[in-house]
Amino acid sequence: MKIAVCGCSFSAVSHLQNFSGTHWSEILAKNLGAELHNYARQGISNSVIRLQIEEAIKIKPDWVFINATTPDRIEFPVDNNRYNKKLGLKNFNYFKDDNVKLISETMFSVIDNHPHEYRRDKVSKPIRDAVSLHAALIYEIHWQQQKDNWLLNSGLWKLHDLNIKFLYNPWVINHKNMPFHDLPIWFTEKYFLPFEFNLLDLFNKFVDELVKKEPFDVGYHTPVDEQKNIAEQYLNLMKLKES
């Protein structure tokens, strides 16, 4: 059995060696006796999550778990590099690699000059200034949210058409009462996770607990202890969908 996970840091395994095997996707794979392909990475945009879905399809998975991310992300080239379709996810900062062609990251981590586990160096000042101007003068969050939803929806439809089982968590990018942009009700009822899977709300719920612990955040933005509960909820939903 193969399972694939697509998303940003909420769905990514920890880069800290001491926490290997503690993420919900790792726990779920172990409980299922499944081969895990986790494509999620910190800071990745919804555009790259759409590319993750393409990579997941290639391995012919039994299940795919997709988590949307926030619309405050941006992609930009490193030096004079350009996107190469043949490279797929290898275009992006998945590793500290000299061959990375594009950075995909939260705009504000670039602007604030934060270090990044999947970026070898800090971004240059001209790029930071350009991203800052983009955020201030060009970026419009609601339109980006709309575009991201349409983009991810195309991936969901492709999984459906290929008869690949999947569950989709839209709650980081969407609000509870927000319409789902031309998706029929039967589709959302079949594939969308319930609102209880809003990982951003889960982070806010446990943020006081997280700041008291060392390290503050192993990368999940949710407590390590909570990962078992998330995995169990996924497992129960899988059983329900297959019944």
Choose among 178, 228, 225, 169: nearest CA to 199. 169
- Are 164 and 227 in a shared domain? yes
pTM given for the model: 0.92
Q: Which of 118, 138, 158 is the last residue of a domain?
A: 138
Q: Are 119 and 134 members of one domain?
A: yes
pLDDT at residue 181 above 70?
no
Beta-bridge mates of residue 149: none
Mark which of 138, 161, 186 sits at the end of a domain.
138
Pick the last residue of a domain from 94, 119, 138.
138
Output the furthest CA–CA distance in the chain (Å, rounded): 55
**What local confidence, expressed as pLDDT, does residue 241 receive?**
85
Looking at every residue in the chain, the average pLDDT score rounds to 88
- Exposed, middle or buried by CB within 10 Å (0-12, 13-18, 19+), for 130? middle
Cα–Cα distance, 154 to 49 (Å, whole number): 12
44 and 20 inside one domain = yes
- Domain extent, residue 104, equals 80-138
- Same structural domain for residues 120 and 215? no
pLDDT digits (tens, 9 = 90+) for 85-126: 999 999 998 877 767 889 999 999 999 988 777 776 788 899
Q: Average the pLDDT over 198-206 and give the result.
A: 72
| Number of separate domains in the chain | 2
Give yes or no for residue 54 having a pLDDT over 70.
yes
The enclosing domain of 183 has a CATH number of 3.40.50.1110
Q: What is the mean pLDDT of residues 184-204?
A: 84
Same domain for 147 and 217: yes
Q: How far apart are CA 58 and CA 49, in angstroms?
A: 15
